[in-house]
Chain A
Amino acid sequence: MILLIGFGNPFRRDDGAGPALALKIASMGVRSEVRVLTPQQLTPELAEELAAPDVSAVLFIDASVAGAAAAGAPAPDSCPALSVVESNPGNSCLGHHFSPSTLLAYSRSLYGASPPAWLLSVPGHDFGYGEGFSDETDRLLPAALGKAVELLRLLP
């Protein structure tokens, strides 16, 4: 089972890219065993979802102002980026919302489960109130979709 977690707020413009992409990917039928979650933000109880015995891999999808840079891509705001999520308790910020790396650390610490995980970051340009995406981010969605599909096909 591949766990797809697309997170963000669809009423904050590009922040909704994560949920929209997760639902789109699921509808494409790339894999038969995919579970989709579309929370507004990552919260601690999601650690239980990561630790479920049938979860073999996790793909987080999020709009990001710095996603491209974090993944070592050429420049921020230029393209969607796929990066491996490392369990990282040391950098835990513990806000009301968590980072994927903190959530993975939760899963490992609490339940002894740390499935392989990736983060697909889609550069966002407009996080104001409203629905729909900015033109810049909208243009990036097909490439983001392509990266996600490629990963899902490669996973065992």
Chain B
Amino acid sequence: MAKTLRIEPITRIEGHAKVTIFLDESGQVSEARLHVVEFRAFEKFCIGRPFYEMPGITNRICGICPTSHALASVKAGDAIMGVAIPPVAAKLRRIFNWAQYVQSHALSFFHLSAPDLLLGFDHDPATRNVIGLVEKYPEVARRGIRLRGIGQEIIRILADRSIHQAWAVPGGVRQPLTAEKRDAIAAMLPEAFETIGLALDLLKNSFSRFTDEAAVYDFPSMFAGLVTPEGGLEHYDGLLRFSACDGTPIEAGIANDRYRDYIEEASEDWSYLKFPFFRSHGPYNRAEYAGMYRVGPLGRLNVCDFAGTPRADEELSAFRGIGNGRTVTSSFHYHYARLIEILFALEKIEQTLNEKDILDDWVRAEAGVNRLHGVGMVEAPRGTLIHDYTVDRNGLITDVNLIVSTGHNNLAMNRTITNIAKHYIKGDSVSEGILNRVEHGIRAYDPCLSCSTHAVGAMPLSIRIIGADGSTVREMVRGQN
């Protein structure tokens, strides 16, 4: 009898999700699916709002990456106003974004992934968490919290608060940087550099224990992300590049407002998360992963030709050495890519703070509605984030399309968990360690599936095995949130 294994909800990711693993008649895994079960209605919520209110609204989509939503939104606003913002405003927005990378990637690595990587997938689940990490690696855990805190503090210094700021606005930013604030940010960087160096060493030293996992997470796909006009690593602006599995550019530099020509979104009736795919490699065919591409840290490091800062370029070279010399195709190495991006962000913050005009007080362009359509694209820590607004002549929103980072990776996440389930699960005998590997396959992408709401006790963790007739064969409960 064919059976179905369900894991719901997934721990340590944002939003509500469950995994269903389908077994065939012989008890072998045939497919795994990641279901996102919370309905997103944010786009409709925005209709009728003035475009200049959108940064304040959309940055409440998520409590973890509000900065990214705010920046995509203000860039869409810039486009509606038809302005080129003052150069220093762009630099300050970039620092803001890099600080977001530091805090978000630190959360992903130190709090969500380090327990698996440093304690091991088969470690006692009761202590395979940061508390267990504190016991074994107290200095790492403390530094992890501090590093995230430094990212948050830089955002707070720039914008007066660490989340849901009203600092970035269409046309620029509200306040310039002062010398005092610049020096306060600069003073935190040496500790941050020290911590990321420690984390990189720890992670690289762990690779020999995870050769099996790295192989299982390895599959061909395209990659996508923003690059500078010269092909460098880009997080805030630039051109959208799609590359083949070996790094060869398929589309070397797409203007942001032309994304619809290249990205199409499909839907499945078992998930609320859409399935974007590369249009010219369609039509959509999930079984064959047609048009699948990966975004986020791995995608960005694979599409860029170089990073553009000394230490990040050195690490990028080492990173590519564990792949084919140009790209790394195992999603297991999202973690490594994430740490390299923290290093890059810190170097860029340091460089930008030292630029001569950084204290310039001309930080905002003024204009009204000059275009009825605007696209804002940034690289959020999890991947390419697109805000696409249409307004009327009064600037009121008439249509919104948001493509969030996690959506781009939907096909790849399904492919990853299918690979993992096929490799580790034989029949309905499922150990906790194996289930954690399935979950880790999703967590490698650090997805943010729905964001924004939570409620005490709303996310119990249960794992169910359901037979073809719909009856529960087995159920595992591992605790309550």
User: Which residues of A are interface residues toward B (Cβ below 8 A)?
Assistant: 8-12, 15, 39-41, 43-45, 47-48, 62-67, 69-70, 89-97, 99-100, 105-106, 109-110, 119, 121, 124, 127-130
Contacts and interface: CB of A to CB of B under 8 A. Distances in A.
Contacts of A8: 453-454
Which 4 interchain pairs have the tightest Cβ spacing? A40-B63, A66-B457, A89-B131, A93-B481
Interface string B122-158: 0000110111101100100110010011001000000
Contacts of A93: 11-12, 459, 461, 479-481
Contacts of A119: 456
Contact of B60 (A40, A64, A110, A121): A40
Contacts of A128: 41
A109 B131 CA distance: 7
Nearest to B58: A11
A96 B449 CA distance: 11
Nearest to B144: A44
Given A41-B63, A93-B481, A130-B45, A109 B135 contact: yes
Nearest to B115: A94
Given A40-B452, A62-B455, A110-B142, 6 more contacts: A11-B60, A44-B130, A63-B455, A93-B459, A94-B115, A97-B454
B453 A9 contact: yes
B448 to A, nearest CB: 7
Interface string B1-24: 000000000011110000000000
Contacts of B461: 93
Interface residues of B, number: 47
A39 B163 contact: yes
Contact of A12 (B44, B131, B452, B456): B452
Contacts of B57: 11
B35 interface: no
Nearest to B447: A96
A40 B69 CA distance: 15
Interface of B: 11-14, 41-42, 44-45, 57, 60, 63-64, 66, 107, 111-112, 115, 126-127, 129-132, 134-135, 138, 141-142, 145, 148-149, 152, 163-164, 448, 452-459, 461, 479-481
Contacts, number: 138
Nearest to A9: B452
A44 B148 contact: yes
A93 B430 CA distance: 20
B459 A95 contact: yes
B8 to A, nearest CB: 13
Interface core residue of B45, B130, B142, B458 (most chain A CB under 10 Å): B130
Contact of A95 (B13, B149, B455, B480): B13
B64 A92 contact: no
B463 to A, nearest CB: 14
A39 B81 CA distance: 32
6 contacts: A11-B452, A62-B456, A64-B457, A65-B458, A89-B127, A89-B132
Interface core residue of B57, B60, B112, B126 (most chain A CB under 10 Å): B60
B131 A106 contact: yes
Contacts of B41: 128-129
A130 B456 CA distance: 20
B299 to A, nearest CB: 21
Contacts of B14: 95-97
Given A97-B454, A105-B131, A9 B459 contact: no
Given A70-B456, A95-B481, A121-B456, A45 B149 contact: yes
Given A41-B63, A89-B127, A64 B455 contact: yes
Nearest to A121: B456
B480 A9 contact: no
Nearest to B41: A129
Interface core residue of A90, A93, A99 (most chain B CB under 10 Å): A93
A44 B129 contact: no
Nearest to B458: A65
Contacts of A99: 456, 481
A110 B131 CA distance: 8
A39 B63 contact: yes
B149 A48 contact: yes
Contacts of B148: 43-45
B135 A95 contact: no
A68 B453 CA distance: 18
A6 to B, nearest CB: 13
